[in-house]
Structure 1
Amino acid sequence: MNLENISPIDGRYQKDTEEFSKFFSESALIRYRVMLEIEYLIALAKEKNFVQVKNFSKEEKKTLRNIYQSFNLDDAEQIKTIEDVTKHDVKAVEYFLQTKFVELGFEEFISFIHFALTSEDINNLAYTLSFKHALQKVYLPQIKKVVEILLLQANQYKNLAMLSMTHGQPATPTTLGKELLVYVNRLERQIKKLESHSFAGKLNGAVGNFAAHHFAVPEVDWKKFSTDFVNFLGLEPLLLSTQVNSYDSLVESFMIVSHINIILSDLAKDMWLYISRGIFSQVVQENEVGSSTMPHKINPINFENAEGNVSIANSLFNCLIDKLPQSRMQRDLSGSTIIRNQGVALAHALLVAKNIVKGLNKVIPNIEKIKSELDNNFEVVTEALQTILRKNGNRDAYEKIKNLSRGKHLTRQDFLEFVETLDLPLVDKVKLQMLTPESYTGLIF
C-alpha cells in the first residue's frame, strides 16, 4: 500500500481492489489503446479491397501483437512522456507506435496507424472493453461468491423458523433459509442480465459517417468492415452515432450493477438488524478491536462498510448514467473526464460484494434467541386462527380475532383457551391446538 495515495481505492482498500489495476489503471487504458491500434491495422491489411497494405504473414502478426502483449510500465511511461508534449493521449499512442514500427522494420506501414480514425474510435472501444472484461473476470465471480454463500446458508437453515418483522412489529413466522433465498433470487436475476448484456462499440470516423474512410478508399465496404472489426472485439457494432459512442449500452450495464448494489445494501441492512436483534451472533475474531474505549464491542463492520460503499459506488454510477449519453451536437469533451471514473465506481461495487462475503462468514444463528422470540410472540399465529374460521364460513372471523389480539401479548395458554370456545370441526380444532409459532412457517423453500 502506498500511504501517499489520495483515493482509498488505491490506499486503504488496495488489497481488495488491485485486481482492477489491469483494467482501469492509466497503464491498462493505454495498453487497450495500443491493442486496438494494432488490431485495426491488422484488420485493414486483411481487407482485400484495401490494397494499400498487404496482408500480414503469421509471423508479422505475431510481431505486431507482441507490442501490446508484452506491454509494460516502461512503455506506458514512454507514452505519457510523449503526451506531456502533444497534450493528446491517443496521438501519443500513435507516435509511440511509429517509433516501435521503425525498431521492428515496419516503417512502410507507419502512415496506416490510426488510418482515418478519430480518437473516440479508439477510446470508446477501450473504455467499453475494459469495463466488460472487468465485469466478466473480477466482478461477476465475486457476486457469484455472494450467491454461493447465501445458497449454502439457505440450505443449512431451510427449516430454522424465525419471527418475521413487518413495519418493525412481530409478524407471521418464516424460515431463515427462505429469507436468504429471497436475496439469491434477486441477485441471480441481475447476474443473468449482466452475463447476457451486449456492449456496443463504434468505429466510424470523425462524425460517424466514415467520411475520411470512404473518401480515401471508396472500394472498401466500410460499414461491413466496421461491423466485422467490432464483432471481432466481442462488441455489438454501433454504426449510427456522432463522433462519440452514445454509451447507452455501457450505461445500461452501470444500471444493472447499481441495482445489484441496492440489493446488497438491502441485505447488509437486514443482516445489521438481525445482529442488533440478537438472532445472529458474530463470531469472535481474535486480535480484532471493536471500539477504542469499549472492549466488549463486536461491530458488524463488514455490513456497514458494504452499505457505505454502495452510497459511493451508486453516486458515481448515477453521475456516469446521467452524463455519458449526453454530448452537445456531434461531440463535446465533458464526458471524457467523467468516463475515467467507471473503474472507481466498479471498485467500490467490488468492495460491497467482498464485505458482504466477509460479513456472512462471521455470523451464526443464535438458536436460543430465535426460539425465545417465537415463544414470546404467540399472537403471530392468530392469522392462522382467523383463516381457519373463514374457511368454516365465519363472516366476522377477522374482527373476532382482532378483538382478541390487536396490540396485545398472547401466551400459548391464552390461545388455547380461546380455541376451546370456538365451534369448529374437531380436525380443525386439533390442528389449532397443535399450532405453535415455530411450526407456522408455511411452505419450506
Structure 2
Amino acid sequence: MKDTYESPLSSRYADDKMKYLFSPDKKFRTWRRLWIALAEAEKELGLNITQEQIDEMKSHADDINYDVAEAREKVVRHDVMSHVYAFGIQCPKAEPIIHLGATSCYVGDNTDIIIMREALQLVRDKLVRVVRILAKFAEKYKSLPTLAFTHFQPAQPTTVGKRAALWLQDILIDLEDVEYVMSGMKLLGSKGTTGTQASFLELFDGDHEKVRKLDKIIAGKIGFKECFAVSGQTYTRKLDSRVLAALSGIAQSAAKFSNDIRLLQHMKEVEEPFEKNQIGSSAMAYKRNPMRSERIASLARYVIVDSLNPCITEATQWFERTLDDSANRRISIPEAFLAVDGILNLYANVADGLVVYPRVIKKHLESELPFMATENIMMDAVKRGGDRQKLHEHIRQHSMAASRVVKEEGGKNDLLERIANDPIFGVSLEDLNKIASPEKYVGCAPQQTEDFISGTVKPVLERYSSVTDEKAEISV
C-alpha cells in the first residue's frame, strides 16, 4: 500500500526479527502464553482447574482467531477482553477460567517486559558482532601511524588501530549496560488492580503463602527468575527508562563512530563501503558521500531524544496507575528498539567494509610531523654540543617560514630541508627523516591496542562464542 503512512523504521532500517518482536502477532501469542501460565499456576496451587482445560488452551496457543477478536473489540472497546472472548470461543471448556483473577496489565505489562528482554537479546548479539568486527580492524591496523586530533587540530600521532580501540571501548560499555539491564529485569507477575493481589487472596481463601507462590510459579514458566516484589497495577515505569537509557548509550557510541568516519572520509584517509553501482549524488556524479554513517548519526539523534519519553512518563505517573503512559509507550519503546536495530545493522556494515588509504594517511602525517619532531631534533643537536637557546630560535624561525609556505603558498612542508641546510644543527636530511619517522611518535598506541584486545576484548568474545556471525544487510 502506497497511500498510507508507514514507519521508515519498519520499511527501511530494522530487520525482520526485531520487527516481529513488536508485531501484534508476537504480542497476542505472548498473551496466550501468559494465560496458560496463570491457569497452570492456579491449578498447581489447588484451584478447580482441570488438565483438560489447560490442554485445550495449549492447543490454541498460536492459532489466534483475529477476526473474532477484532469484531468483538468493535463492540466492547477493550482489547484484552476481546482476546479473552476470542480465546474462549476456541476453548469452550477453558473459557470460564481464562484470565481468572487477573487485570489487563497481567497480559499487557508482562508481555512488554518479555518482549523488551527478547529485544535486548537481539541487541546484545548485534553488539557482540560489532565488537568482533572492530577488534579485527583494530588488530590489523594497530601499528599504522596516523595523525591524532584534539579540537580537530593536528596533534601527536596515534595509530589507526588505537583509534578503532576507542570506538570498541564504547561498544563494550554498551554491552555491559545491556547485560546489567537484562540481569535486573523482572516480571510484573499477577498483582491485581492496585498491586495488592486482593483478588488472588480471595481466590485462595486468604492463603497468603499461595498468593506469594503464584508469582514465583508464573515467573518460572515464562523463563524469569522472579517478579517485582511490589507494584501498583503496573510495573514501575523506571524499568522502561532504564532500558531506553541503555539503547541511548548505544546510539551515542554509534554516533561518535559515524562522526569520526565522516571526518576521515572528508580527509580521504578512511572511507565507508561504497558499492559498484551506488550513486552518491544526483547532481555530482563523482561524489562518494558517507551516507551510511550519516544515517547512523540521524537515527542516533532520534534514539537519544526518544529515551527521554520513559523518563518523563515515570516522573508523571499518579499513585498506583494512570493511563497517560499507554499511547506514549506504544510508540517510544518499539521505535527505540527498531531504530537501534537499524543503527547496529549500519554500524556492522560500515565497520566491516571500511577502506583504509595508508598513502593518504602518510601524506597527512608528513605534512605535520616535522613540526612535532623539532624537540627531538633540538635535543640531538644539543647532545652534539649545540646551544639550546640558539637552536630553539633557529627552529622557531624555520618553523614559521615553513608554515608560511604551507598556508600562504600551498606548498610542501619544507621544515626538514631548512634545518638540514642550517649548519648550526650539523645534521643531514637523511638523518632528519629518520628522526621524524612516524613510528617514533605514536607512543604506546600499538601495545595499548594489543593489550586491550587480548586482555579486555577477547574474554568478552570468548564468553559470547555461541553468537553466530551474520553479515549485516541494509536495504538502502
The answer to whether structure 1 residue 21 and structure 2 residue 19 are counterparts is yes
- Residues 85, 417 of structure 1: CA spacing in aligned structure 2 closer, same or farther, 3 A cutoff? farther
Counterpart in 1 of 2:153? Answer: 169
Once residues 231 and 417 of structure 1 are traced to their aligned partners in structure 2, the CA distance between those partners, rounded to angstroms, is 81
Query: 2:471 is matched with which residue?
Result: none
Q: Which amino acid aligns with 2:336?
A: A
TM-score after normalising by structure 1: 0.84
CA distance in 2, matches of 1:316, 1:401: 57
Q: Which amino acid aligns with 2:39?
A: L
1:321 aligns with 2:311: yes
1:438–1:116 CA distance, 2 compared to 1 (3 A)? same
Asked if residue 209 in structure 1 is aligned to residue 196 in structure 2, the reply is yes
1:441 and 2:434 matched: no
1:119 equivalent in structure 2: 104
Gaps spanning 5+ residues in structure 1: where?
A: 423-429
Deviation by residue 1:281-325 (Cα, 9 ceiling, x = unmatched)? 455422221111111111111000111111222222221232145
Would you say the 8 A contact 2:140–2:161 is kept in 1? yes
**Structure 1 residues 387 and 328 mapped into 2: Cα distance closer, same or farther (>3 Å)?**
farther
Q: Secondary structure, in 3 states, of the residue corresponding to 2:91?
A: helix
C-alpha distance 71-420 of structure 1, shift in aligned 2 (>3 A): farther
Q: Counterpart in 2 of 1:71? A: 63
Instruction: Report whether the alignment pairs 1:356 with 2:347.
Output: yes
User: After superposition, what is the alpha-carbon deviation per residue over 1:22-58, rounded to whole angstroms, capped at 9, x for unaligned?
Assistant: 21012222222122112111111122xx34224x37x
Aligned counterpart, 1:266: 256
2:369/2:436 contact within 8 Å kept: no
What does residue 239 of structure 1 align with? 229
Letter in 2 for 1:40: L
Residue type at the aligned position of 1:340: R
Higher relative contact order (CA 8 A, sep 6+): 2
The 1:347/1:387 distance shift into structure 2, 3 A limit, reads farther
Q: CA offset at residue 97 of structure 1?
A: 1.8
1:95–1:371 Cα change, 3 Å: same
Q: 1:158 to 1:250 in 2, by over 3 A?
A: same
Match of 1:192 among 176, 183, 191: 176
Aligned CA RMSD, in angstroms, stands at: 3.3
Distance, in Å, in 2 between the alignment partners of 1:384 and 1:335 is 63
Match of 2:42 among 24, 29, 44: 44
Residue 378 of structure 1, CA deviation = 2.0
Matched, 1:181 2:165: yes
Residue 412 (str. 1) matches residue 404 (str. 2): no
Q: How does 1:103-142 map to 2 (within 5 A)?
A: 107=93, 109-136=94-121, 138-142=122-126
Structure 1 residue 384, shift from structure 2 partner: 6.5
1:293 aligns with 2:302: no
Structure 1 partner of 2:470: none
TM-score, normalised by the number of residues in structure 2: 0.79
CA distance in 1, matches of 2:6, 2:305: 16
Report SS of the residue matched to 1:174: strand
CA contact (8 A) 1:116 1:205 kept: yes
- 1:159-183 alpha-carbon deviations (Å, 9 max, x no partner): 1110011111110100111111111
CA deviation vs aligned residue, 1:354-404 (integer Å, no higher than 9, x gap): 122222344311111100011110255359649979xx9xx99xx989967
Does the CA-based 8 Å contact 1:324-1:339 persist in structure 2? no
The CA deviation string for residues 75-108 of structure 1, in whole angstroms up to 9 with x for no partner, is 2343222222211111112111211221xxxx2x
Aligned partners of 1:400, 1:91: CA distance in 2, in Å? 87
Partner residue, 1:373: 364
For residues 135 and 346 of structure 1, the distance between their equivalents in structure 2, rounded to whole angstroms, comes to 8
Q: Identity percentage over the alignment?
A: 18
Whole-angstrom CA distance in 2 between matches of 1:219 and 1:293:
76
Letter aligned with residue 434 of structure 1: I
CA distance in 2, matches of 1:311, 1:275: 21
Q: Please list the CA deviations of residues 96-140 of structure 1 after superposition, one character each: whole Å capped at 9, or x if unmatched.
A: 1211221xxxx2x4332212211112211001111111221x322
Q: Distance in 1 between matches of 2:137 and 2:105?
A: 47
Q: Structure 1 residues 301 and 244, CA, compared in 2 at 3 Å: closer, same or farther? A: same
The correspondence for 1:278, drawn from 261, 265, 268, is 268
CA 380–155 in structure 1, closer or farther in 2 if over 3 Å, else same: farther
Tell me the distance in 2 between the aligned counterparts of 1:439 and 1:6.
Answer: 58
Q: Distance in 2 between matches of 1:312 and 1:407?
A: 48
Matched, 1:225 2:191: no
- The equivalent residue for 2:327 is 337
Distance 2:378 2:89 in 1: 82
Q: Is the 8 A contact 1:231 1:237 kept in 2?
A: no
**1:81 pairs with 2:71:** yes
SS at match of 1:237: coil
Distance 1:183 1:400, change over 3 A: farther
Unmatched tracts of structure 2, length 5 or more: 404-412, 450-476
Residues 193, 256 of structure 1: 8 Å contact kept:
yes
Aligned residue type for 1:52 = N
User: Post-superposition shift, 1:12?
Assistant: 3.7
In the alignment, the residues of structure 1 paired with residue 250 and residue 110 of structure 2 have an alpha-carbon distance, to the nearest angstrom, of 25
